[in-house]
A and B are shown apart, each in its own frame.
Chain A
Amino acid sequence: MTTTELDRVPEVAPRDYGSPLASKLEHLWATKPGIVGWLGSVDHKEIGLRYIVTAFVFLLVGGLEALVFRIQLAWPNQHLLSPAQYDQLFSMHGATMILWYAFPVLTGFSVYLQPLVLGTRDMAMPRLNAFTYWVYLFSGLYLYVGLALGSAPNAGWFNYVPYASRPYNPGLNIDFYALANILLGISTTLGSLNFVVTILHQRAPGMSINRMPILSWGTLTISVGNLFAMPSVTLAFFFLWLDRQFGTHFYDPPSGQPLLWQHLFWMWGHPWVYVIVLPALSMVSEALPVLCRRPLVGYTAVALATVLTMVLGFGVWLHHMFATGLPNIALAFFSAVSLFIVIPSAVSNFAWLATIWTGRPVFNTAFLFFVGFIVVFVIGGVSGFMTGSVPADWQLTDTYFVVAHIHYVLIGWNLFAVMGASYFWFPKMFGRMLDEHLGRWNFWLMFIGFNVGFFPMHITGLLGMPRRVYTYPDGMGWDTLNLIITIGSYVMAAGMLLFIVNVFYSLRRGVVAGPNPWDAATLEWSTPSPPPPYNFVVIPTLASRTPLWEDRLDEGPYRSELNEGMPLDHGKEVLGTSSLDAQPNVILRMPEDSLVPLFFALVLTLLFAGLIVKFWWLVVTCIGAGLLLQLIWLWPRSELRERRP
């Protein structure tokens, strides 16, 4: 190893996780012990788990908020919460679930799994990965500081003006929401950028784009989608903050346009719906076939349908605004696209059904969650199809029918898939299986609780119950249904509680999993469980989509090379490959652990704290400190081969 090495003919070493090579890689890649090492870790597995755990904490908090206001709504004329408290609580519930749980949990799975399924050793930008996690965490804390100060968002999660404008909402509530969202938007955008680069540049040799796991198709699609969608909402919130604090006139009449908020919000908001479900769908497409003991039916169709859904998702935002008095031609066009998008969504659905039909299903908890997911997916899809039609939407908009629809979509398409994925990948992450007996109870309580809790909302909606009301009079015909809804929500919460019990129980007592407990086909199962810090002792070379099933499926003359490959041990190194064919084209140097991402995230958060209280000296100081940290971060380093030695 010389410091002036410009090119290298890679060696080839055997795969042996007990070899001196493995201990050398362990030394190179392992996070240093102690609190400083922990805070500075850039290991994608470590960061992925932090994302997942943090997102689950937000899920529990958001769930508790819902349980509180479900007591209020269980009977008519309740006054447990004042209207103002109710407004904050339901707004926080929506914001927490949609923004701080639903996407970050999928990001967590992607951060953990993508380098493993792609056959590489880390994300393309490991320090950026650590940074995006910290910013995500701090943005959530920022929002909850608002709640602690009694200034939580109170205009619903989509925060329409003029109600969110300063004359009608003078506190800092909306400002906390706006700035927390901008902070989170930074994290989401940079995280997506990291996924795009990782997936297009670091796949194992031979993993051409048509051999990429369907899991990566989901993450790649929504990450590209985020790059184009996120600026819209960030800008919408920035305009709102300027309007509220600096007297600009973006949204306030006569010269401003209140409807601009809805456009900018939903131009992000509808793509976002697909952003928070497509990776979940692709987790099902990845794991369900393993449990059916066969490859996914219609890989190409599912991959293309995933991309098409995302593309169409950019052309349907107006269906959230059917009741705002838009021209008929716009209504007709957006209604047509909204109905058309059912087709690519249904492709995945039929692919799963065909996979189950033609496979030999293993009826375990993960499988149950995936099947439950499919059932709920269809119900949520149909109610979405109904509201995609303009006349139906005019009846249903702002009623509980829409609340039912959004929960069938978000819980059904996201949470059930995440639960199944947790049962499926937990053994890889921790080396132990989740308990099956508790798992069955977990599933049935959640599935029954969910349907009892949310299906009746369709009916209360059809009976005319408006959403967002803090209480309602009796004699409207809504009483019994609302009591049933509250009971259902508590049953579902009990199921969720069992999941947490199961996690803590199985971490200690679970059955030891081994590298591949499900006898699955993809690369992550060729590593030990949990995987070592360097993931792969030698880089595998692929010849198919299902490297671990090749002998069994016997689809072609070529077999993947998993037993030997490049060791890449002259430092923290990974292989860069071409985007379509995955031919090796560069050996990349990866950065060491670093505290700079944490400090930079802290400085950024402090800057946002300065903005809300208008401490301009703090803002200026933070900008200076941030630029200094950027200079340290980006200073060309010879060990990363960014400058002449």
Chain B
Amino acid sequence: MSTVVAVSRRSLPVGSVGAHAIGWWGMVCAVLTEAALFGYLLFSYFYFAIQPRQMAFPPQLPPLWLAAPNTVILLASSVAVWQGERGARRDSRARQVIGLGVGFALGVVFVGIQLLEWHSQPFGLSSNAYGSLFFTVTGFHMAHVILGLLILLSLTIWSALGYFDRYYSAPISIGVIYWHFVDAVWLAVFFSFYITPYLGLRHGP
């Protein structure tokens, strides 16, 4: 004898809910492919760095006095948007708007300092292979930061308009994943360009 399986009659949530939202899945996949992009960018950097015929590294070690505090600022912005997301989950509009808004502001500061850092470099995009790589990789990261800032700005405004609460907060969670990704990728970029030369990656003149 055979039995026909029963149709599920469990109560189901309707709409974009947390990790069941299509956008959440889409963002996770987007982050994977973006992570691969930065993987290939850093592959190119290390590929150059290990060639017997060296690319022209700058004569001095990379200065950390702007880049290191800037890294801390970017990480702080991740904490802020995390607080904003928690605000949405707990129906606290103020915490939600402040968290996202502070995250946005810290991101803007990061961009400002990064522009100073670019300006202070003795080499340019077309000076040599190192310059091309440095500005292309940090430029890619900068483009991602700016996109992330536009997302945070939209989320802050939508939060202020009262679009989100405990149940409807998927767009915040989705945007915040992207922002955390942008920060995590910076750590990889920072490590590769600023830390590895101190660890001995840089050879020769």
Q: Counting CB contacts under 8 A, is A309 at the interface?
A: no
A643 touches B158 (CB 8 A): yes
For window 157-180 of B, CB contacts with A under 8 Å fall at 158, 162-165, 167-168, 170-171
Residues of A close to B158: CB separation below 8 A:
636, 643
A557 touches B3 (CB 8 A): yes
Q: Counting CB contacts under 8 A, is B187 at the interface?
A: no
0/1 per residue, B135-165, Cβ < 8 Å to A? 0100000000000001000100010001111
0/1 per residue, B1-15, Cβ < 8 Å to A? 111111111111111
Q: Tell me, in angstroms, the Cα distance from A43 to B104 when the chains sit together.
A: 37
Q: Counting CB contacts under 8 A, is A160 at the interface?
A: no
A559 touches B168 (CB 8 A): no
A565 touches B40 (CB 8 A): no
- Distance in Å from the Cβ of A166 to the closest Cβ of chain B? 13
- Distance in Å from the Cβ of B157 to the closest Cβ of chain A? 10
A235 touches B41 (CB 8 A): yes
A124 touches B22 (CB 8 A): yes
Residue of A nearest to B126 (CB): A247
Q: Counting CB contacts under 8 A, is A255 at the interface?
A: yes
Could you pull out 18 A-B pairs where Cβ atoms are within 8 angstroms? A193-B26, A231-B40, A248-B136, A250-B132, A255-B128, A255-B130, A260-B48, A541-B7, A541-B8, A561-B4, A585-B12, A586-B15, A586-B17, A586-B20, A636-B164, A636-B171, A642-B16, A644-B168
0/1 per residue, A549-570, Cβ < 8 Å to B? 0110010011111001110001
B25 touches A201 (CB 8 A): yes
The residue among A193, A565, A584 with the most chain B CB atoms within 10 A of its own CB is A193
Residue of A nearest to B162 (CB): A644
0/1 per residue, A614-641, Cβ < 8 Å to B? 0000000000000100010010100011
Residues of B close to A209: CB separation below 8 A:
none
Q: Tell me, in angstroms, the Cα distance from A576 to B131 when the chains sit together.
A: 48
- Distance in Å from the Cβ of B125 to the closest Cβ of chain A? 6
Q: Counting CB contacts under 8 A, is A33 at the interface?
A: no
Q: Counting CB contacts under 8 A, is B121 at the interface?
A: no
Q: Tell me, in angstroms, the Cα distance from A584 to B168 when the chains sit together.
A: 20
Known: A257-B48, A587-B13. A576 touches B20 (CB 8 A): yes
The residue among B7, B11, B53 with the most chain A CB atoms within 10 A of its own CB is B7
Known: A235-B40, A248-B125. A641 touches B25 (CB 8 A): no
Residues of B close to A72: CB separation below 8 A:
none
Residues of B close to A501: CB separation below 8 A:
none
Residues of A close to B13: CB separation below 8 A:
6-7, 585-587
Residues of A close to B128: CB separation below 8 A:
249, 255
Q: Rank and list the top 8 A-B pairs by shortest CB-CB distance, nearest first.
A: A641-B15, A231-B37, A247-B126, A248-B132, A643-B163, A586-B20, A255-B129, A227-B33
Residues of B close to A234: CB separation below 8 A:
37
Known: A12-B9, A643-B158. A196 touches B40 (CB 8 A): no
Residues of B close to A30: CB separation below 8 A:
none
A564 touches B7 (CB 8 A): yes
Q: Tell me, in angstroms, the Cα distance from A4 to B168 when the chains sit together.
A: 11
Q: Tell me, in angstroms, the Cα distance from A230 to B33 when the chains sit together.
A: 8
Q: Tell me, in angstroms, the Cα distance from A26 to B62 when the chains sit together.
A: 63
Q: Tell me, in angstroms, the Cα distance from A541 to B5 when the chains sit together.
A: 7
Residues of B close to A570: CB separation below 8 A:
14
B36 touches A228 (CB 8 A): yes
Q: Counting CB contacts under 8 A, is A232 at the interface?
A: yes
A642 touches B15 (CB 8 A): yes
Q: Tell me, in angstroms, the Cα distance from A560 to B154 when the chains sit together.
A: 45
B32 touches A227 (CB 8 A): yes
A197 touches B22 (CB 8 A): yes
0/1 per residue, A264-282, Cβ < 8 Å to B? 1001000000000000000
For window 579-613 of A, CB contacts with B under 8 Å fall at 583-589
Known: A636-B171, A643-B158. A256 touches B33 (CB 8 A): no
